A and B are shown apart, each in its own frame.
Chain A
């Protein structure tokens, strides 16, 4: 039983990783021309995947670390007005295309990995912040009032009532942010940050569909993998309370 549930948990991520390896091996072995073969070598593919992963993990972690506390902060009754203002700013900011965000910060911070991480961080901040705020705000007022009436301190209400109830919504925001982040990170190659976007961009510039396909497939698999793993983390934490 224990083994079975454990297998069920690792089956999907393992399958996705295998699919990723298969895709990489297939395209490296069948690059479809010498031009594409220059990009499609094992060391290069591995390096690009690594860069991509690093960008996503660093920017997403920083975004979670910043957005969740900020979301909690602006949901406090004392900061109600600020919360509404920030919520609206977020909604507007979210409409700015991700490529534009990257381009904008390139002009300010220059080319490279750090700029890409910063832009990705900023862009992931929004869905997490919005969901944290909305999640806490979605807790029924009578539940909070019951908690207050029974003598729970505001901090206890936050940790015992509000956060557990908001948790699924917060997690949904984090998953959305990370999945979008994997996709957006392909654009980071435009500002010289590397990653799987490199394959796609070179593929476009030299008209080699195999390159585009390989980069796109690998980043898509990576997005699904992140989503699945985060979903499992969510369920695990939910079971533990």
Chain B
């Protein structure tokens, strides 16, 4: 292939490479240690046990539904925050960030306090036959609770950076509010939406603490991959082989999903 001219790289202090590589190693080495423990002989058998398959299916299903819910309610919230007065926006941003700093366990407890049978809301749900705790729906709710902030913050930043000039131009050209949203606001925030969806999905599929407390660990109903892995590690009489195999399966699955999402751009239409 013929060489093409390239711009000189931006000048950076070479020393930046040292902490940068340290950071990378810090992230990659534990994964390598994990992969090193994989027992390749039994790998296939371990990941195809009915329990593993059902946990993977449940994880993918709940994380996808949770991500979808996050997009449906999170993108509008992000746009509202981005276009709110700055005082209102900063309050809203803090509110949205709280679940991020809360230990997920505490989030699970909080969800249980709100929707559990001991609260008025929970009682009402019970009577309506819609008791939430320890159901698959509870898994999704726990995931939405911990993943939504990632999506909102990412999208809000993108919408705010895009500014209002293009929207005003669209309005001046006669576009209504919905057309402006669909053809200008959302496409301009596409990169932020994709990044938000990736973060949101990754957080949802890895969710453990809130799920454990609010949804429990019932195989086939609420036992997602992280809970299955935890159970495998703690399980009496079971070796670490299956646990590591499950972890690897989760890792690969998430990587595949993220690669697919990266190629996608919402709102791009002719």
Question: Do A and B come together as binding partners?
Answer: no
Residues of A within 8 A of B (CB): none
